[in-house]
Amino acid sequence: MSFLKSADDGPSFVPVIRIRRGQKVRIFFTNRLPEQSIVHWHGLHIVQRMDGHPMYAVGTGNRYVYEFIVDNRAGTYWFHPHPHERTGYQVYRGLVGFFLVADDEEDALKLPRGTFDIPLVIQDRTFDSRNQLVYLQNMMERMMGFMGEHVLVNATPGYTKQVERHAYRMRLLNGSNSTAYQLSLNNGRPFLVIGTDGGLLEQAMTRRVLTLGVGERADVWVDFGAVLSGEEIALVAQPFAPIMLDGAAMPMMRRPANTAPRPIAPER
């Protein structure tokens, strides 16, 4: 098991645990927050006591020991806090990480790896005049969620990545609290989707627009082999209006739709 800095060119940081299927792990979680917390291993097939149920949340300075065998197929999973009624708040504050599982099936496919395997967690955030995070400003946002004013990738605003003329595996995670994204590339090229929440797909799918709900993941193959030197390709979120949030039956509870593409992550 390794705990790695993400492979990027900026100051961003996202914790990444890499593991192989069949390995036994022991993880010591010590809570240094000023409130209770516990860690949930999102998507892993493990026993209930090891899965971060709120009933097992520990107080400040206390420790919880996880021990389990990873029995998931190769894929992109993640971990985040899961205390009762504080999950959203703690995730919003940045407590998110990747749990990447490999296996023999994946090895045989010879997918991009190393610096060509990029985990990207997408999260929207709002900041006040002092550059401090703003969370749940009113009761409407508490009931319906809210869309942050800025999109961060791996906890970094204006994230950029210098890429080579090579195929890349991009592991996309929507780590936002309530915002869904319809992602596309600004040059119109499609994604080749090779994996979703449950691991690698039986057959890759071509998609020009990729929709990711909250907590959803997708692994995509993007080939930059034909990109010109100095050309910038951006991952953007297309405008859309989620039907459940724009219904005529709830005019008082509508949220404004996205009105223009939002930049996510430029690749140069």
* Same structural domain, 126 and 248: yes
Residue where a domain terminates, one of 43, 70, 104: 104
Q: Tell me, what's the pLDDT at 175?
A: 94
Residue range of the domain that includes 167: 114-267
Using a pLDDT cut of 90, give the percent of the chain over it: 63
What are the angstrom distances between the C-alpha of 170 and each of 19, 239, 264, 265? 18, 22, 13, 11
pLDDT at 242 over 70: no
236 in the same domain as 150:
yes
- Determine the pLDDT at residue 261: 66
- Domains held by the chain: number: 2
Q: What is the arithmetic mean of pLDDT over 141-148?
A: 78
What is the amino acid identity at position 42?
A: H
Residue that has been written with the tokens 């809570």 in this structure: 31
Comparison of pLDDT for 227 and 254, the residue scoring more = 227
At 95-104, the pLDDT tens digits run 999 999 999 9
pLDDT band with cut points at 50, 70 and 90 for residue 90:
very high
For position 237, what pLDDT does the model report?
Answer: 86
Is the pLDDT assigned to residue 265 strictly greater than 70?
Answer: no
Do residue 173 and residue 218 come from a single domain?
yes
Phi-psi domain of 131 (left: phi exceeds 0; alpha: psi -120 through 50; beta: other): left
Span 42-51, average pLDDT: 96
- Please report which confidence band the pLDDT of residue 3 belongs to, taking 50, 70 and 90 as the band edges: very low
State residue 211's pLDDT score. 93
In this structure, what CATH number is given to the domain that contains residue 137?
Answer: 2.60.40.420
Q: Is residue 211 part of a domain?
A: yes
Q: Which residues pair with 75 in a beta bridge?
A: 101
Q: What is the pLDDT of residues 71-88, one digit of tens each?
A: 999 999 999 999 999 999
pLDDT tens digits, residue range 9-31? 455 578 999 999 999 999 999 99
Query: CA of 143: how far to CAs of 32, 94, 127, 254, in Å?
Result: 29, 21, 20, 11
Q: Is residue 109 part of a domain?
A: no
Query: 173 and 255: one domain?
Result: yes
Same domain, 81 and 175: no
pLDDT single digits (tens) 151-187:
999 998 888 888 898 999 999 999 999 889 999 988 8
Which of 90-94, 237-241, 247-251 is the least confident region?
A: 247-251
* Rg of the chain (C-alpha set): 19
Euclidean distance between CA atoms 44 and 82, whole angstroms: 14
Residue 1 has pLDDT above 50, yes or no: no
Of 57, 83, 104, which closes a domain?
104
Q: Is 121 found in the same domain as 97?
A: no
2 pLDDT exceeds 70? no
Residue 178 lies in a domain: yes
- Tell me: do 96 and 162 sit in the same domain: no
pLDDT of residue 241: 56
Query: Which among 60, 76, 104 is the end of a domain?
Result: 104
**Domain co-membership, 84 together with 197:** no
Domain match, 135 and 253 both: yes
In whole angstroms, give the CA distance from residue 125 to residue 133: 7
